[in-house]
Amino acid sequence: MDHELWWGLLGLAPLLVYVVLVFRDVEILSATAICVILGALLSQQTLTTFAAALASSMGSFLALVGLIIMLGRGLGEVLSATKVSHTIVHSIIFSVGVDTEKKAMLGIMLACLTIVGLLGTMAGGNAVIAPIVLPIAAAVGLSRSTVAVIFQAVGEEALILGPFTPPVITLLGLTKIGYGQMLLCVSGPVALITIAATWVMIQRIQKRTKDTGAYQQPEDLERFEPAPINRRATAVFVGCFLLAVIYGIAVKAPTSFVIVIMLGLSLITGFVGGLKLDEILKLIIKGMAGNVGLFLLFLLLDPFILFVQQAGGFVALAKLIKPMMEFGGKPVIVISGGLLGAFGISGATVATLKLLHEMFNPLLARYGVSMLAWSLALVVATRVNNFVFPGANMVSSLGFAESDDLKSMIGNGWVVAGCQLTFLTIFSIFFA
């Protein structure tokens, strides 16, 4: 291998060190700070360019997600103070019957799948459901680690199932296959495999972390009886929440729309629940303060990935995988595309889909590769990338679940990635 390739592979060192530190239980913010500095050195940043990268991250998507998470925590404080969360939990546990760990896991999975799939954004969807499901998780004894893994694993699959999500719209536009065909042969099987693997993993994660990563139990839940003001505030909250979801879907609102929803729901629910304006704002600030460390983490994560890219890490990895395409015909082309997207290209899902398709399109036409198999490669490529690297979706899921257990996230991610890549390999051999 040439010198440039070796130097590029060295650019991946921050990611490898990051994984090692996380699995040695180093605190996530400390591990990120160490690897950002390592990435800056390898990509030959100066103090000026390093400062510019940090300043730029203030306006990044990750920073936006960090703000949404903090506002969601603030909304949670308002819901707790007005007893709306108590009322919702009481109704679900004692009326609907979500009173065991497994029922709660299934309930959170269904809520996540529905809301993220409808809104088309993991950050927005999980931000909306987190204040509602976390008290339920606490009441039945689910750990923070378990909820975080559910948020990411199910949210990732919701993005490839919803008919109007950006990845689905992009995929259908590039490959020209039908939505029903994609759902039946591509997204559906991938989602089933992912959720099945995650279900097995969260049983183990829950058993391991239920004592060390438990939420604070709602006080006197069994003796709590909602007062009329609590029921009124809950009805208003649920009504406004549903209207916001419907409006967001109708106008295809971007992720930033959730900021207005968080603040609006906090104010309306607080007023109806009997709180004054200054009380509501203090509760929002109190909740946001609990996630300042996470916001700082998000600011560091953006330059972290940028520095790995500038050091040539992803380009070098792509060069290593690309020669595989010249051997083995159609199946290897499909598998190589999946691997290249999963491990060689880091970025926004829509951009990755377009880049991969443009890169491979001449080969697809030359060898007559099935668009169905290629669609699967594109889907697996973008899902695996989010499961094996600590990107926005993974870390935001930690934040919404109020967890710092990245070890469990990566552990589940690699298991899911292995299952998805195995399915891609088998599918490519028979259907490419």
pLDDT above 60 for 1: no
Q: Residue 264 has what pLDDT?
A: 92
pLDDT above 80 for 148: yes
Greatest mean pLDDT among 144-158, 160-174, 239-253, 349-363: 144-158
Q: Residue 80 has what pLDDT?
A: 79
SS3 sequence of the chain: CCHHHHHHHHCCHHHHHHHHHHHCCCCHHHHHHHHHHHHHHHCCCCHHHHHHHHHHHCCCHHHHHHHHHHHHHHHHHHHHHCCHHHHHHHHHHHHHCCCCHHHHHHHHHHHHHHHHHHHCCHHHHHHHHHHHHHHHHHHHCCEHHHHHHHHHHHHHHHCCCCCCCHHHHHHHHHHCCCHHHHHHHHHHHHHHHHHHHHHHHHHHHHHHHCCCCECCCCCCCCCCCCCHHHHHHHHHHHHHHHHHHHHHHHCCCCCCHHHHHHHHHHHHHHHHCCCCHHHHHHHHHHHHHCCHHHHHHHHHHHHHHHHHHHCCHHHHHHHHHHHHHHCCHHHHHHHHHHHHHHHCCCCCHHHHHHHHHHHHHHHHHHHCCCHHHHHHHHHHHHHHHHHHCCCHHHHHHHHHCCCCCHHHHHHHHHHHHHHHHHHHHHHHHHHC
Q: Residue 135 has what pLDDT?
A: 83
Q: Average pLDDT in the 245-267 region?
A: 82
Greatest mean pLDDT among 25-34, 98-107, 246-255: 98-107
pLDDT above 80 for 119: no
pLDDT above 80 for 343: no
Q: Residue 205 has what pLDDT?
A: 92
Q: What is the chain's mean pLDDT, rounded?
A: 81
Q: Residue 216 has what pLDDT?
A: 74
pLDDT above 70 for 38: yes
Condensed to tens digits (0 to 9), the pLDDT of residues 209-228 reads 888 878 876 555 555 678 88
Q: Residue 152 has what pLDDT?
A: 92
Q: Residue 384 has what pLDDT?
A: 87
Q: Residue 310 has what pLDDT?
A: 82
Q: Residue 199 has what pLDDT?
A: 96
Q: Average pLDDT in the 155-172 region?
A: 81
Q: Residue 328 has what pLDDT?
A: 61
Q: Is 205 inside a domain boundary?
A: yes
What is the rounded radius of gyration, in angstroms, for the C-alpha atoms of the chain?
22
Q: Average pLDDT in the 348-373 region?
A: 74
Question: Which of the four pLDDT bands, split at 50, 70 and 90, describes residue 321?
Answer: low
Q: Is 337 inside a domain boundary?
A: no
pLDDT above 80 for 345: no
Lowest average pLDDT, out of 192-196, 265-269, 297-301, goes to 297-301
Question: Which of the four pLDDT bands, split at 50, 70 and 90, describes residue 335?
Answer: confident
Q: Residue 406 has what pLDDT?
A: 86
Q: Average pLDDT in the 277-289 region?
A: 91
Q: How far is CA 332 from the centre of its chain?
A: 29
Q: Residue 338 has what pLDDT?
A: 82
Q: Is 379 inside a domain boundary?
A: no
- Give the structural domain span for 278: 61-211+224-293
Burial class of 354 by CB neighbour count within 10 A (0 to 12, 13 to 18, 19+) = middle
Residue among 288, 419, 428, 392 nearest 65 (CA): 392
pLDDT above 80 for 348: no
Condensed to tens digits (0 to 9), the pLDDT of residues 52-99 reads 988 888 887 767 777 877 887 788 788 878 888 778 766 776 666 777
pLDDT above 90 for 269: yes
Question: Which of the four pLDDT bands, split at 50, 70 and 90, describes residue 423?
Answer: very high
pLDDT above 90 as % of the chain: 18
pLDDT above 70 as % of the chain: 87
Q: Average pLDDT in the 290-301 region?
A: 80
For 178, left (φ over 0), alpha (ψ -120 to 50), or beta?
beta
Q: Is 271 inside a domain boundary?
A: yes
**How many domains is the chain partitioned into structurally?**
1
Q: Is 390 inside a domain boundary?
A: no
Q: Residue 386 has what pLDDT?
A: 85
Q: Average pLDDT in the 190-207 region?
A: 94
Question: Which of the four pLDDT bands, split at 50, 70 and 90, describes residue 146?
Answer: very high
Q: Is 7 inside a domain boundary?
A: no
Q: Average pLDDT in the 158-169 region?
A: 80
Q: Residue 89 has what pLDDT?
A: 66
pLDDT above 80 for 275: yes
Q: Residue 113 has what pLDDT?
A: 84
Q: Is 382 inside a domain boundary?
A: no
Q: Is 332 inside a domain boundary?
A: no
